[in-house]
Structure 1
Amino acid sequence: MHPILKPALRRGWHDLNTVQFGMTPAHAVVLGPVDTATGSFLNLLDGTRGVPLLREQARRMGLPEGHVDALLKRLTDAGLLDDAAGGGPPTEEPRARTPETDRLRPDLAALTVTTSEPAEGVRRLAARRAMRVQVRGAGRVGSVVASVLAAAGVGHVDVRDGGCVEPWDVAPGGLPAQAVGERRDVSARRVVRAAAAARPPRPDRRKGPPGPGDAEHPLSLVIVAPRDGLAVHSPDPAAAQDLVAAGIPHLYAGVVEATGVVGPLVLPGGTGCARCLLLDRTDRDPAWPRLLAQWSSGRAVPVQPCDIGLATAVAGLAAAHALSFLDGELPASTGARWEACAPGLDWHARAVWPHPDCSCGAGEGRNGQETTADDEPHDTMAG
C-alpha cells in the first residue's frame, strides 16, 4: 500500500491541533487532536512511499513505535486515505497518465470523495468500462444522457431511436446541428463515440445486435428517455415489458409540458414500475385511462414543449443518477420520480409505490400503499 491523503479534499486547520479535510458538510471530516509532529508527518502521505518507508521516516521524526499504523487506521476509518498503487491489474489503465485517462481525472477525484475504502474510487472507475448501457430515445434529453455516460467512462453506450434528426432535436452535448436529416440512432452513436474518453472494442455485428436479455452482453442499465411528452408523463408499461421480464434495471427521464422528470429507477421485482404507476393513478382517478386514450389518439403536438435549459438539467441529473447506480449505490430516484416545473424549477420527489395488482411482483404481500401529493391538476375553475 502507498497511502495518500485524498487530494480532492482541501485541508485546513481550525487551530494548531485540529485539522479539517474537505469543505462541504456531506464529505468534510474534522480530525483532532493532532500534535505538531503528526501534522508534519501528514505531508509525507502523498502516495510516493510504502508503509515500511513511512514507518522508518516516522522513527526519524521521533514518533513512537506503532504510531504510523494507528494513524493510518484512523485515517482509513475516517475515509480520508487512498492507495496510490491499489486496486490490482484492472486499475492500471485508469491510473496511467494518457490524454484519454486525463479526461477522466475529475471523475476519479469525485469517486475518491464519495467512497471510503482505499482504491475503491479507481476500482469503480475501472468497472465502468465493462458496463453496457442502452439509451432509448435520442432527443434533447436522451442524446445528452448518452454522451455524458460515455464521457464518464462507461464503456458501451448504445442509443436506440427511429426516424431522422429534426432541428428541434439539436442540443449542446447531444445531436449537433449538422446531423439534421440523418437517422437519429446513427447520429447519436457518433456523438457517443466522440464523447468517449477511450473507445471500447467494437462488438461483433455478425452476431446481430445484443438484446436486453443477452447473457453474453448483459445490460447494466437502460435509460428510457422518450421524445414524446405523453410517454414521459405516463410511461407505457408495454414499452418496458421486456426489461421487467429480463430483470433489467431502467431509469426514466424526460420533459413534458415544461416539467422535467427523472425517475423512477425501476429495479424489477423490487420497486414500483411503469405499470405500478399506471395502476396507482387509476386507483386515485378512475378517469385516468380515458384521459390517456384521448391524449394518445388525439391530434399530435407538432413540436414538444421542451426548453433547452430544462432538458439539459434533466439529462445531467439523469446521467448522475445512472452513474450512481452503476457505481453500486441507490440514488434518490430509486422508486421515485423527481420533478421540476418551469419557471420555479423546484425539484421534489413523488414516490412510485409497488402496486399489489401489478404482475412485476414488487407489490406482492402489500395490502395498502402510502401516498404522496397527487398528480391531478389544480382546479382553477372552481368557485
Structure 2
Amino acid sequence: MHPILKPALRRGWRDLNTVQFGMTPAHAVVLGPVDTATGSFLTLLDGTRGVPLLREEARRMDLPDGHVDTLLERLTEAGLLDDATGGGPPADALRKQTPVMDRLRPDHAALAVTTADPSEGVRRLAARRALRVQVRGAGRVGAVVASVLAAAGVGQVDVRDGGCVEPWDVAPGGQPVEAVGERRDVAARRTARTMAPDRPPRPDRRRTVPRPADPDPGGPPLSLVIVAPRDGLAVHSPDPAAVEDLIAAGIPHLYAGVSEATGTVGPLVLPGGTGCAHCLLLDRTDRDPTWPRLLVQWRSGRASRQVQACDVGLATAVAGLAAAHGLAFLDGELPSSTGARWEASAPGLDWHARPVWPHPECPCGAGERANGREVSVGGGTQDTMAG
C-alpha cells in the first residue's frame, strides 16, 4: 500500500491542532487534535512511499512506534486515505495507460471523494471498462447520454434508434451538425466512440445465439439500459410494451427525456423490485379513470411527427443528470431516481421527485414483493396528481 491523502479534498487548518479536509458539507471531514509533528508527517502521504518507508520517516521525525499505523487507521476510518497502487490487476492495467488515465483523472478524483475505502475509487473506475450499456433513443437527450457514459469510461455504449438525424436533433455533445441526414443510431454510436478515452473497438457481432433483450449479443451482457425517447408522450407516459423484453430479462433500465418543456429523469426500474412503467400507468388510471382515453387520443394523433418542445438547455441538463444517475448505479449505488421520477419544468426548473410506487396488480411482481408495506422510494412522498 502507498497511502495518499485524497488530493481532491482541499486541506485547511481551522486552528493549530485541527485540520479540515474538503470544503463541501457532503464530504468534508474535520480531524483533530493533530500535533505539529503529525501535521508535518501528513505531507509525506503523497502516494510515493509504502508503509515501511513511512515508518522509517516517522522514526527520523522522533514520532513514537506505532504512531504511523494508528494514524493510517484513523485516516482510513475517516475516509481520507487512498492507495496509489491499489485496486488490483484491472486498476494496474488502467494506470499503465497514461493517456486514458489522464482523461479519467477527474472521474477518478470524484469516485475517490465519494468512497471510503482506499483504492475503491480506482477499482470502480476500472470496473466500468467491462460494462455494457444500451441507450434507446438518439435525439437531443439520448445521444448526449451515450457520449457522457462513453467519456466516463463505460467500456461498451450501444445506441438504438430509427430514422435519420434531423437538424433539431443536433446538440452539444450529442448529434453533430455534420451528421444531419445520417442514421441516428450510427451517428450517435460514432460520437460515443469518439468520446471514449481509449476508443474501444466495435463489438464482435459474429455470435449467433442472442440473449433475451439483447439485439447485439457481442460482448458482455447489458448492465443497464437508458430509455430516452424522442417523443414527448413516450417520456411523460412510457409505454410498458416498449420494455417488456427488459422486464422479462430482469435488466435494470432508467428513463430520461423532455416532454412539453418538462424534463424527466427516472424511474430507475429494478425489475421485480421497484415500480415500472406499467405500475405508473396503472396508478395513473386508478387516480384518473380518463387517463387511458387520453392516451389513445394522443397516440393516435400526428403529434409524434411534430418537432417536440425540447430546448437544448433543458435537454442537456436531463442528459447529464440521467448519465450521472446511470453511472452511480453502475458503480454499485442506488441513486435517488430508483423508483422515482425527478422532474423540472421551464422556466422555473425546480427539480422535484415523484415516487413511482409498485402496483399490486402489475405483472412485474414489485407490488407483491412490497407485500402491502409502505415503500419508500426516491426520498419523496406518494404523488396524488393525475398527470
Query: Post-superposition shift, 1:87?
Result: 1.2
Q: Amino acid of the residue matched to residue 184 of structure 1?
A: R
Say whether residues 1:271 and 2:271 are aligned partners.
no
Q: TM-score, normalised by structure 2?
A: 0.94
Structure 1 distance, partners of 2:343, 2:158, is: 26
Q: Corresponding residue for 2:158?
A: 158
2:242 pairs with 1:239: yes
Offset at residue 205 of structure 1 (A): 1.8
The residue number in structure 1 matching 2:386 is 376
2:57 aligns with 57
- The SS at the match of 2:257 is strand
Partners of 2:310 and 2:226 in 1: how far apart?
A: 18
Structure 1 residues without counterparts, runs of 5 or longer:
378-383
1:255-266 to 2 correspondences below 5 Å:
255-266=258-269
Equivalent-residue separation in structure 2 for 1:230 and 1:128 (angstroms): 32
- In structure 2, the partner of 1:224 is 227
Q: Which of 278, 293, 299 pairs up with 1:296?
A: 299
Partner of 1:278: helix, strand, or coil? Answer: helix
Give the conservation status (yes or no) of the 8 Å contact 2:206–2:218. Answer: no
Change (3 A) 1:251 1:312: same
Q: Does 1:69 align with 2:66?
A: no
Cα distance, 1:374 vs. partner?
Answer: 2.9
Tell me how far apart the structure 2 counterparts of residues 362 and 216 of structure 1 sit (CA, whole Å): 30
The answer to whether the 8 Å contact 1:355/1:366 transfers is no
Give the CA deviation at 1:128.
Answer: 0.2
Tell me: CA distance 1:114–1:369, structure 2 relative to 1, closer, same or farther (3 Å). closer
**C-alpha distance in structure 1 between counterparts of 2:71 and 2:239, whole Å:** 55
| 1:185-196 to 2 correspondences below 5 Å | 185-196=185-196
Deviates more, 1:360-369 or 1:12-21: 360-369
| Partner Cα distance (2:29, 2:77) in 1 | 11
Match of 1:308 in 2: 312
CA 1:258–1:110 in 2, change beyond 3 Å: closer, same or farther? same
Question: Which residue of the partner structure matches residue 358 of structure 1?
Answer: 362
Q: Distance in 2 between matches of 1:21 and 1:94?
A: 27
- Asked whether the equivalents of residues 203 and 219 of structure 2 are also in contact (C-alpha less than 8 Å), the reply is no
Shift of 1:368: 7.3
User: 3-state DSSP class of the match of 1:158?
Assistant: strand
Secondary structure in structure 2 of the residue aligned to 1:205: coil
- C-alpha RMSD of the superposition: 1.6
For residues 140 and 352 of structure 2, the distance between their equivalents in structure 1, rounded to whole angstroms, comes to 22
Deviation at 1:89, TM superposition (A): 1.1
| Stretch of structure 1 that moved more, 194-203 or 219-228 | 194-203
Q: Unpaired runs of 5+ in structure 2?
A: 376-380
SS in structure 2 opposite 1:339? Answer: strand
Deviation for aligned residue 1:67: 0.6
Distance in structure 2 (CA, Å) of the matches to 1:296 and 1:368: 35
The one-letter code sitting in structure 2 at the alignment partner of 1:366 is N
Residue type matched to 1:351 in 2?
P
Between 204-213 and 89-98, the greater mean CA deviation after superposition: 204-213
Q: CA deviation at 1:88?
A: 1.5
Count of matched residue pairs:
377
Rounded to whole Å, the distance in 2 between the matches of 1:177 and 1:375 is 40
The partner residue of 2:286 within 283, 287, 300 is 283
Query: Shift in Å at residue 215 of structure 1?
Result: 9.8
1:341 aligns with 2:351: no
**Per-residue displacement from partner, 1:283-329 (whole Å, max 9, x unpaired)?**
00010100000110023251111000000000000000000000000
Aligned partners of 1:129 and 1:200 also within 8 Å? no
The alpha-carbon deviation at position 60 of structure 1 amounts to 1.0
Structure 1 residues 369 and 17 mapped into 2: Cα distance closer, same or farther (>3 Å)?
closer
Q: CA deviation at 1:204?
A: 1.8
Q: Deviations along 1:140-160, whole A, 9 cap, x unmatched?
A: 000000000000000000000
- In structure 2, relative to structure 1, the CA distance for the partners of 1:165 and 1:216 (3 Å cut) is closer
Q: What is the aligned partner in structure 2 of residue 212 from structure 1?
A: 213
Q: Are 1:8 and 1:109, in contact at CA under 8 Å, matched by a contact in 2? A: yes
Provide the C-alpha distance between the structure 2 equivalents of 1:342 and 1:246, rounded to a whole number of angstroms. 36
CA contact (8 A) 1:131 1:219 kept: yes
Offset of residue 375 of structure 1: 3.3
Residue type of the alignment partner of 1:78: A
| AA at the equivalent of 1:148 | V
Residue identity matched to 2:40? S
Normalised TM-score (structure 1)? 0.95
Moved more, 212-221 or 228-237: 212-221
